[in-house]
């Protein structure tokens, strides 16, 4: 499985400093029919969700493929429980009441058999009746709106980062190649350097996900526009959030 890299951790956190992690988790909490105690977080990145989940009082185990991301997460969240692993084949002791796979992490699972492995692996780590919540790109909107070139600038007291995004849509494969070019300027000495990365991200369709989840032993409880209590997922919402319950 491809890692999320985004240059390095300090660039990653700077690029997403305006992302409202707490608002998203508040929305997710509103979806729980009953509050879970133990949460498994897959694709935790640098620990931004983890920190808030712990503050909310959950018992959390957080997993990511990238040791670089985990190194930053451990410094950021001293009381976190972080482990390195691949979401397709990790093996952990114990069972969990809920599993969260956020920030479009499932989009990095581009092959059908790997997606089946992920859902089966999550199933094996959940208690009966446990919940799975994740967000992904909505294929209805991707094909309707089409990915576009984008530029974003962010900075702090040490660096200024300009990110250029050039997409390569593959409608047949349900994937989009996302080409990133980062220009980083160090404010202390004025030096500029460049980082280039290519990510392949899969988009999904509602009925497709329902089929995969049901075949894996889950019942879909809801599909929502991105972190909104609106279940009218259509061609206008780029992201969708899915909650499913493991059948007893």
Q: In order of start, what are the domains of the chain with their CATH numbers?
A: 9-138+203-246 (3.40.50.150), 142-202 (2.20.25.110)
> What mean pLDDT is predicted for residues 14-27?
95
Q: Contact at 8 Å (CB) between 134 and 102?
A: yes
> What mean pLDDT is predicted for residues 209-229?
94
Q: Which of 200, 219, 201 is nearest to 210 (CA)?
A: 219
Model pLDDT, residue 120:
98
Strand partners, 137: 203, 239
pLDDT band at 176 (very low <50, low <70, confident <90, very high): very high
Q: Which of 71, 121, 81, 75 is nearest to 101 (CA)?
A: 121
Cα 245 from Cα 221, distance rounded (Å) = 7
User: What rounded mean pLDDT belongs to the chain?
Assistant: 94
pLDDT band at 2 (very low <50, low <70, confident <90, very high): very low
Q: Can you give the pTM of this predicted structure?
A: 0.95
Model pLDDT, residue 8:
61
- CA 198-6-244 angle, to 5 degrees, is 90
Residue with tokens 């300090």: 10
Q: Which of 121-125, 135-139, 177-181, 231-235 has the lowest mean pLDDT?
A: 231-235
> What mean pLDDT is predicted for residues 11-33?
93
> What mean pLDDT is predicted for residues 67-88?
96
**Exposure pattern of 159-176 as b/e (b: 16+ CB <10 Å)?**
eebbbeeeeeeeeeebbb
**Residues in contact with 74: Cβ distance below 8 Å, sequence separation at least 6, in sequence order:** 47, 80, 82
Cα 193 from Cα 185, distance rounded (Å) = 7
Residue 14 has pLDDT above 90, yes or no: yes
Residue 3 has pLDDT above 90, yes or no: no
Q: Contact at 8 Å (CB) between 126 and 216?
A: no
What proportion of the chain, given as a percentage, has pLDDT over 70? 97
């Amino acid at each position: 499985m491809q890692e999320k890299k985004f240059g390095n951790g300090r660039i990653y956190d700077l690029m997403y400093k305006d992302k409202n992690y707490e608002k998203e988790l508040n929305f997710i909490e509103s979806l729980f029919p009953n509050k879970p105690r133990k949460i498994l977080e897959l694709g935790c990145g640098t620990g931004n969700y983890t920190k808030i989940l712990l503050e909310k009082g959950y018992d959390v185990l957080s997993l990511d493929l990238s040791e670089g991301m985990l190194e930053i997460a451990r410094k950021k969240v001293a009381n976190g429980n972080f482990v390195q692993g691949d979401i397709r084949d990790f093996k952990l002791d114990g069972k969990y009441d809920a599993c969260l796979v956020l920030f479009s992490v499932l989009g990095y699972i581009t092959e059908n058999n790997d997606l089946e492995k992920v859902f089966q692996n999550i199933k094996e780590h959940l208690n009966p009746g446990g919940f799975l919540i994740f967000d992904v790109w909505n294929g209805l909107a991707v094909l309707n709106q089409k990915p576009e070139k984008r530029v974003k600038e962010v900075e702090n007291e040490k660096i200024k980062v300009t990110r250029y995004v050039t997409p390569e849509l593959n409608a047949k494969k349900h994937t989009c190649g996302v080409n990133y070019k980062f220009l980083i300027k160090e404010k202390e000495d004025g030096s500029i350097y460049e980082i280039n990365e290519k990510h392949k991200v899969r988009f999904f369709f509602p009925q497709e996900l329902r089929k995969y989840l049901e075949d894996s032993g889950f019942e879909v409880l809801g599909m929502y526009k991105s972190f909104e209590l609106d279940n009218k997922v259509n061609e206008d919402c780029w992201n969708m959030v899915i909650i499913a319950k493991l059948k007893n």
